[in-house]
Amino acid sequence: MRKRTGAGREINKTEVADLFGVSLQTVDYWVRKGLACRKDSHEVIFNSAAVTAFLETQAEARAIASNKPADADEARSRKLAAEAEIAEMQRDKMRGELVDISSVESVVAEEYAAVRSKLLALPGKLAPMVAIEADEIACRDLIERGVTEALDELARDAGEIAAGIEAATASDTPSGAESTAATDRQ
């Protein structure tokens, strides 16, 4: 029977492997990494508390190593990747494939305002016409015609707005300025 020391109990290599759910080779690896042990007549003896303390220390060391600041090569790689991404975004903007969110925001806000205004105008526009109709089908037709007209107007406006976004984007880029100047000359 193994004797108990003040902190932990004495166990052999097989017991360490069983206790921590690892192979005997892993225990040998821990010994090479600095796990304290003593050789008895024909076996290696460990203190269970010392093994636990060793493993905690190893886990802490791994945690600290994983949080260390990036080395110079890694920092350079990250910088190059960021610069490449910026260059790609500038290229996409010049091609008109990327637009500033502020340009889109103002256009969308105008579009929403137009939709709201057209929808709010429908009751005032349609009420007098519907009021004189006694037939439900005729009322429905009037309302449908009014809604369709409002939607058609909005669709025409959307085309104009898209052209406005394209023009705003073109004026933000050097290639867009050149194409605008070329169009003006024709």
**DSSP-assigned letters across all residues of 47-114:** EHHHHHHHHHHHHHHHHHHHTSPPPHHHHHHHHHHHHHHHHHHHHHHHTTS---HHHHHHHHHHHHHH
Residues 175, 108 share a domain: yes
Is 3 a domain residue?
A: no
Residues 91, 54 share a domain: no
Residues 58, 14 share a domain: yes
Q: Domain containing 144: what range?
A: 99-185
Residues 82, 38 share a domain: no
Residues 94, 57 share a domain: no
Residues 178, 110 share a domain: yes
**Domain count of the chain?**
3
pLDDT, one tens digit per residue, over 17-72 is: 998 999 999 999 999 999 999 998 889 999 998 999 999 999 888 877 776 665 77
Residues 84, 46 share a domain: no
pLDDT, one tens digit per residue, over 143-155 is: 898 888 888 887 7
Residues 172, 112 share a domain: yes
Residues 132, 54 share a domain: no
Residues 178, 155 share a domain: yes
Residue 22's CATH number: 1.10.10.10
d(CA 109, CA 16): 69
Question: How far, rounded to the nearest angstrom, does the alpha carbon of residue 3 sit from its chain's CA centroid?
Answer: 57
Is 56 a domain residue?
A: yes
Residues 103, 45 share a domain: no
What was the pLDDT predicted at 179? 41
**Which 3 state secondary structure label does DSSP give 173?**
coil
Assessment of whether the complete model's pTM goes beyond 0.75 = no
> Residue 8 — very low, low, confident or very high, per pLDDT cuts 50/70/90?
confident
